[in-house]
Amino acid sequence: MAEGGGATTAPAASFSDLQVAARLGGEFFIRGIEIAARAQGGDLLRGIIFTAIAVANSEHLGAGGETSGGATEPRPVSVLAISNSIGVPYETTRRYVNMMVRDGQCVRHGRRGVVIPEEAFLKPGILAAMQETLASFNRLASTLRRLDYAPSVSRR
């Protein structure tokens, strides 16, 4: 990494690519936070924390939903790791996680952390949010295809 935090191995993106990424990425992001908040009864922070836990639980899984060894189980994540990942104070994150555990949206795995159980994803509000997210993702992918978008910056 360069001193300013930018990658040194990839060529700089064109201004046009930056504009496309900002607009389309921004639209996808805003739709995502609207969806997350709606799935949690309008509570944006709860939606963000739920999403952060779900993402952390599955980061070790490949695109097909399993590890190279075939495992598909979610990996517990600590409240501190979630707090750090989203920049929300630990105590606030802990209170929200405790509410989600109480409401059955989250399960504790001792000191290893918390997991969102499969049953939580099957509740109507969460399932609807997942379907909306898929539609939003497909809209983004379709727009990129329509623009014949090919990024000028290589992946690391």
Q: Is residue 101 part of a domain?
A: yes
Q: Is residue 155 part of a domain?
A: no
Whole-number pLDDT of residue 66: 57
Q: Is residue 38 part of a domain?
A: yes
Q: Is residue 154 part of a domain?
A: no
- Indicate which CATH number applies to the domain containing 53: 1.10.10.10
Q: Is residue 5 part of a domain?
A: no
- Where residue 61 falls among pLDDT bands split at 50, 70, 90? confident
DSSP string, 28-83: HHHHHHHHHHHHTTT-HHHHHHHHHHHHHHHTTS-TTSS-TT---PPPPB-HHHHH
Compute the average pLDDT of residues 148-152. 73
Q: Is residue 51 part of a domain?
A: yes
* pLDDT of residue 57 exceeding 60: yes
More confident residue, 97 or 156: 97
Q: Is residue 133 part of a domain?
A: yes
Question: Among positive and negative, which fits the CA dihedral 21, 27, 28, 30?
Answer: positive
Split into its structural domains, the chain has a count of 1
Instruction: Write out pLDDT tens, residues 99-128.
Output: 999 999 999 999 999 999 999 999 999 999
* pLDDT of residue 1 exceeding 50: no
Range of the domain at 125: 16-63+71-146
Whole-number pLDDT of residue 152: 64
